[in-house]
Structure 1
Amino acid sequence: MGYRSPRVDADKAALGDAEKGNNSTVQPVGPDGPVAAAWDGPDDPRDPYNWTKTRKISIALVISLSQLVCLMTTSIVAPALPQIATDLHLGESKAQIAFSIFVLGQAFGPFVIAPLSEVFGRKPVWITFNLFYIFWNSLCPVGKSQAVLIIGRLLSGAGGSCGVILSGPIMADMFHQKDRGKSLAIASMFPYLGPALGPIVGGIVSQYVSWPWLFWVMSIFDAVVVAFGVVIVKETCKPVLLRRKTGHDKGGNAIDLSPSEDGLLSRMRARLQRPLLLLGTRPIIQITALVIGLGFGIYILVLSFFATLFVDQYHQSTTDSSLQYIAIALGSTLATQAGGQLMDAIFARLRDRLPEGSALRETPPPEFRVPIMVIGALLSPIGLFWLGWSVQARAPWIMVDIGATIFVAGTFLASQAASAYLLDEFTVEAASATAAARMLSNLMGFTFPLFAPNLYDRLGYGWGNSLLAFVWIALVVPIPAILWYRGDRIRAIGRK
């Protein structure tokens, strides 16, 4: 076995051994218990690390498109919300619930999706929950019923979260730690166009066709993505791949490695409880979840009022106002693409400063992701101040867009760094750890838009956004320093 640094989780050390081709990797479970299995050397073509770059990027892009579906569905109804409220006789509060309840579904879906993917594999779970999304999303406008719309949005959010929750673990399955930033940049190439594409498509469809087609267009789009995924996406979960590999003897004859029904139920119970257990016992998840969650909550709040802002304050049409979301897409694209490259460059520089032969040089600590988090944590409140006071002063619309771009870039940089931190710390259980962290973010994404109307009615856009910025400064800005100086001690709490 390789050296196990006290700063690196046991799961991470085990995966580090696997990367070097050692034979002490993952133990698939057979009918009589664990079955020893390992790759056939460091160059085994079945190991996702050894797949061709073309295959890895193809899989990443398909998963990226399924994330795009989710993020577009979150925001696509924003421009049509007044029309939907009128047709379905929704009050202001119910209309906001209909908008943000999709995000609430994303809070709880991952608690089933993540553990299932660690037992049955990423691909079958991804396909199943995409189909679940298509069914419920298509049902949302049927009968133009308040109850059907709200229940459909909730359940389609749970299904649609599969792309978001599995993208990080799938990237971690295929790419080494040194390429974490690049892999996350590839996975986020399309999704963060969603905040712009969703409202633009929503504005055009609701103005020229009818709002039920907002849902049906997204279901058709996701059906096409799933069709490509069936062909292109390959299983990446290493315990599942090793279990399949061990399912054949040397003569090529199949061996039954399916666990007994009692064993499977026991494993499922343990896996389904794992995200909640991690959230309750690992403070490092709670801290990184605060960064991701607060950023996402404020981001969804901004999405909910952004189009209406330009209609009310700048007297633009629904279509013209929806084009302002390009500023949000610009901020997210800059953060994810340039930020991913910068993250890897900083990671390599910090790793190269470590002494030759150092154990930490082989498995650098997650704290090497913190410098990017610092940049994001500082940019986000600057963008909020700029956005809020530009609107308050009735500055030209371009000033509002610049503030939105800065805010979104900062929020996504901080969240991307926090996500990479989690993937570095939790490797084998990346999906469960990500699900635990995302629960808080999606709960905030659901609740924040609900108080947006009262916030801005009472304080105005200037002081309303300033209040959000002050909350961010108080809760998030200190976190990078805490992680940099005390991250190793915090990560040690709750380890087994």
Structure 2
Amino acid sequence: MLSSCVGLTVHFSEDGISSAVGEARGGVAHEQRPTWERHEHPRKRSIRSKWTIVLISSMAAHVVTAGSGIYTLSYDQFRNEWGTSREVSTLGLSLYTLAMGLGPLVIAPLSEFYGRRIIGLCSLVAYLIWLVPCALARNIETELIGRFFTGAAGSAFLSVAGGTVGDVFEPSQLQTPMLVYSTIGFLGPDVGPIFGAVINQYTTWRWSFYVLMICTAILLVFFYFFSPETYAPVLVRWKTERSQKESGLDISVDEQPRSIVRAVLISCTRPFQLLVLDPMVTCLCILTAFTLGIQYLLFGGFTYVFETVYHFELWQIGLTFLGIAVGAFIAMAMDPFWRRYRGKQVKNNNGISEPEFRLPSVAFGALCLPISLFWFGWTSRPSIHWIVPILGTVPFGLGGLFVYSGIWTFLVEAYPIYAASALGANAFTRLVSAAAFPLFGVQMFERMGIGWGASLLGFLTLVAAPFPFIFIRYGKRLRGFSKFAKS
């Protein structure tokens, strides 16, 4: 997602290109004069072509994130086949998610040197290859190793795909395609268990990976034929190199790609500088980390609650995730309201847009999270119909999407030169949290009870809920003190 994302953001002008996030080049923006015709510009493509590119990248992100959740309904079969405990089986989810958090630190700068397309193709091919040992594993050790490298391979679509959306749409047109991309990626962890439950109810767990392999192969074909290169600096460099070769002239290029090793080192270290030195990044990353961590914790939590309290079968447990999905669709439907509200803010600010204008929806979403968790926890009991706790998860999907999409957009606007690092810091904290939370979710519900276990999670989100309210009021002042943000 802007995903989920540490993709590099590029700002275009009619006659030139400015890599506003050229931090791999030392954090200094640069300009290049394109040598292409107007119709060759990535943002001059047809609407159909733009949306095809966005939807293919979005579906790739969806499959990768669904790959995390589809695995979680296989634990009982692992226990029967290999004698593994739930905790050991859960490591397959945690390692996959951890790899998704670490991979973009290396993959994101590579797209600046080689382009989006080759990174996406390599990612899909590697993802498909590493699904094979996952599907054919004969012991849990092979399964866990395969899961880690599968997550690392698929992480490109959580780092580069968001940048692809920005490549083909103007900033004024970006909100809708970015929301679509964010929603499709956000739904992946919830769609995965729905299919995983049906598969594990009626066939072997290996078909979970066969289904992923089929989907990945189809996406690979679509990506190869319908998703061209969109990263403008790479396109300019290619065209310049072709012109030099055709003319036979030894013309020096203004800006050659700098050391890949140096770019990767910067990509790996600067996100942590932002996390430590910038309080706005730190606090907003904590909010998104809690949100995604709890979302992943509910993989095991839903199984425990609806199996022990309501005695659901496996396929029925998978359908309980529809509550979060419904909330996400409601959030999409509310997007016109937030756009109008932001338009009024800009108008009242003499037509000047501020990054903090992106945060009201985040503040609303942050309040939805604890409400959802308290509702879910204290209504999950035999005396209350099962639909009530499922309805309690709807605000979580609603709030989660608002929190993610609003914070990602805010970070890009507030930290234009260091947007990739800000998004990298956010992606790393979110996915590390998502790797850790599932390891203690079921044990927490068992020892504390469902009500108090969900309440503990609710109190965590309640602690982080004031952050967007504070930054709505004081964010501009804090950006003035930041060496990373644009005041």
Please give the range of the TM-score, normalised by the shorter of the 2 chains: 0.7 to 0.9
Alpha-carbon RMSD across the aligned residues, in angstroms, is 3.1
- Matched-pair identity in %: 26
Answer yes or no: is the 8 Å Cα contact 1:115–1:432 preserved in 2: no
Q: Aligned residue for 1:8?
A: none
- Amino acid aligned to 1:45: H
Shift of 1:333: 2.5
Q: How does 1:456-467 map to 2 (within 5 A)?
A: 456-467=445-456
2:149 paired with 1:155: yes
Q: Aligned residue for 1:380?
A: 369
Q: How does 1:45-64 map to 2 (within 5 A)?
A: 45-64=39-58
Structure 1 window deviating more from structure 2 (163-172 vs 297-306): it is 163-172
- Compared with structure 1, are the counterparts of its residues 349 and 216 closer, same or farther at alpha carbon in structure 2 (3 Å cutoff)? same
Structure 1 window deviating more from structure 2 (156-165 vs 486-495): it is 486-495
- The normalised TM-score by structure 1 is 0.86
Q: Aligned residue for 1:199?
A: 193
2:471 paired with 1:483: yes
| Alignment gaps of 5+ in structure 2 | 1-7
2:401 paired with 1:415: no
Match of 1:289 among 282, 285, 291: 285
Match of 2:302 among 301, 306, 311: 306
Deviations 1:337-377 (A, max 9, x none): 22444443333222222325xxxx2xx22111111011101
Q: How does 1:337-376 map to 2 (within 5 A)?
A: 337-355=332-350, 361=352, 364-376=353-365
- Amino acid aligned to 2:101: A
Q: Aligned residue for 1:111?
A: 105
| Alignment gaps of 5+ in structure 1 | 1-10
Answer yes or no: is the 8 Å Cα contact 1:141–1:148 preserved in 2: no
Aligned residues: 471
Match of 2:124 among 119, 130, 142: 130
Q: How does 1:73-152 map to 2 (within 5 A)?
A: 73-152=67-146
Match of 1:237 among 231, 234, 237: 231
- Compared with structure 1, are the counterparts of its residues 49 and 482 closer, same or farther at alpha carbon in structure 2 (3 Å cutoff)? farther
- Compared with structure 1, are the counterparts of its residues 176 and 427 closer, same or farther at alpha carbon in structure 2 (3 Å cutoff)? farther
Distance, in Å, in 1 between the alignment partners of 2:341 and 2:204 is 48
Shift of 1:22: 5.6
SS of equivalent residue, structure 2 residue 329: helix
Answer yes or no: is the 8 Å Cα contact 1:96–1:450 preserved in 2: yes
Shift of 1:214: 0.8
SS of equivalent residue, structure 2 residue 241: coil
- Compared with structure 1, are the counterparts of its residues 140 and 295 closer, same or farther at alpha carbon in structure 2 (3 Å cutoff)? same
Shift of 1:36: 5.7
Distance, in Å, in 2 between the alignment partners of 1:344 and 1:250 is 46
Distance, in Å, in 1 between the alignment partners of 2:468 and 2:181 is 24
- Compared with structure 1, are the counterparts of its residues 208 and 178 closer, same or farther at alpha carbon in structure 2 (3 Å cutoff)? same
Shift of 1:404: 0.9
SS of equivalent residue, structure 1 residue 379: helix
Structure 1 window deviating more from structure 2 (179-188 vs 256-265): it is 256-265
SS of equivalent residue, structure 1 residue 77: helix
Distance, in Å, in 2 between the alignment partners of 1:367 and 1:158 is 33
Distance, in Å, in 2 between the alignment partners of 1:145 and 1:259 is 50
- Compared with structure 1, are the counterparts of its residues 256 and 151 closer, same or farther at alpha carbon in structure 2 (3 Å cutoff)? farther
Deviations 1:159-181 (A, max 9, x none): 22222222322222233333343
Distance, in Å, in 1 between the alignment partners of 2:252 and 2:207 is 47
- The normalised TM-score by structure 2 is 0.87
Shift of 1:403: 0.4
Distance, in Å, in 1 between the alignment partners of 2:93 and 2:182 is 23
Answer yes or no: is the 8 Å Cα contact 1:283–1:491 preserved in 2: no
Distance, in Å, in 2 between the alignment partners of 1:186 and 1:209 is 33
Distance, in Å, in 2 between the alignment partners of 1:258 and 1:148 is 48
Answer yes or no: is the 8 Å Cα contact 1:98–1:150 preserved in 2: yes
